[in-house]
Amino acid sequence: MPSYDSTRGRFRLAESHLAVLRHRVEGEDVPPELAGADRELREAGLTDRSGNLDLMVSPLVGTLRAPAVVLHVEALGEHGTLHHGVTIGDGYVYSHESWPGSEESEYVRLEPAMLVWALARMVNLQGEDTVEVATPVVEATTAVLDAGLDTLDSLHGLTAEEGVDRVAEALKGAGLTGTSQLTTLAKLIAGMRSSWRMTAAWQGHDGGAPAPRVRGFAVWDCGPLGYWHRQLPAEPILPGQVDDTTPLKLVRIDAKEVWQLITDLLPAAEEFAGAPQPG
């Protein structure tokens, strides 16, 4: 069920609820398949019997309809893939975070000064102590990586050392040579806490002409083994851009460097499309 928490100005909404709100704002009839979501919005007090939006939800809907910048976080962990993000509009900034097993996400209004902090929290950025690894840089191919990832379902019931050995065997069988890289990558795959990628999209310019712009980066969170920036293949990855021969490059970084990557993701003022010039 959709809901609103007045104490923190937060909403719980599913994609079906957002679809209904978009139809309502556009003055369109709500399709029959969204009748249930439409009813739930009325029962939650977010719309009235005529479909008019409550004042408290109007800024959120307006921001989602006309974003200036959209920041998306795709996080893969033990419970599957979750989608979080931030939408920056004209005067308002809203974050949204999903929860494993739930269709609804939590939407909260943010102060712009808290933007980087909110994104860091979405990926559980922690400045915890880390252990030494054989090498701070790992270079292979996506075929090697896939061979290692394919072993993860078979590691249940094994000791940590046995799990690393099994992953290492798969990596070696896929062609990875070099003891230090083999050992490090095997430990990273077996000990990965989560992996995530963060992208920013906005209307920028190309040679003076308005053009959509996207940039991003990807990180592995390997707990005590630290954070690893996936420099290759570089984000954003387009469909069909990666195959078995695509180079893989992982570089170990600390929490401060991850924070800086998040900060650098945000577009500067000069990166936006300029206002139309009078003819």
Q: Peptide bond before 236: cis, by omega within 30 degrees of 0?
A: yes
pLDDT given for residue 277 in this prediction: 43
Which of the four pLDDT bands, split at 50, 70 and 90, describes residue 275?
very low
Distances (CA, A) of 197 to 40, 153, 221, 233, 265: 33, 23, 11, 12, 11
- The CA distance from 181 to 215, in Å, is 28
Q: Is 242 helix (H, G, I), strand (E, B) or coil?
A: coil
Q: Could you tell me which residues come within 8 angstroms of residue 6 by beta carbon, excluding any fewer than 6 positions away? A: 56
268 pLDDT more than 90: yes
Rounded CA-CA distance 20/51 in Å is 9
103 Cβ neighbours under 8 A, 6+ residues apart:
14, 15, 16
Instruction: Render pLDDT for 168-207 as a digit per residue (tens, 0 to 9).
Output: 999 999 999 888 999 999 999 999 999 999 999 999 998 8
The single residue listed with the structure tokens 């929490």 is: 255
Residues in the chain: 279
pTM, rounded to two decimals: 0.92
Runs of H (alpha helix) within the chain: 15-25, 35-43, 58-65, 115-122, 142-149, 160-173, 179-191, 255-265
Report DSSP letters for 56-98, one per residue.
TTHHHHHHHHS-SEEEEEEEEETTEEEEEEEEE-SS-EEEEEE
Angle (CA) 200 205 208, round 5°: 170
- 8 Å CB contact between 203 and 268: no
Distance between CA 268 and CA 153 in Å, rounded? 43
What's the rounded mean pLDDT across residues 57-66? Answer: 94
- What value does the mean pLDDT of the chain take? 94
Residues of the chain with pLDDT > 70, as a percent, come to 98
Name the DSSP class of 276: P
3-state secondary structure of 184: helix
240-250 per-position pLDDT tens digit: 899 999 999 99
Tokens 């062609």 label which residue?
175
Selected residue with higher pLDDT from 158 and 72: 72
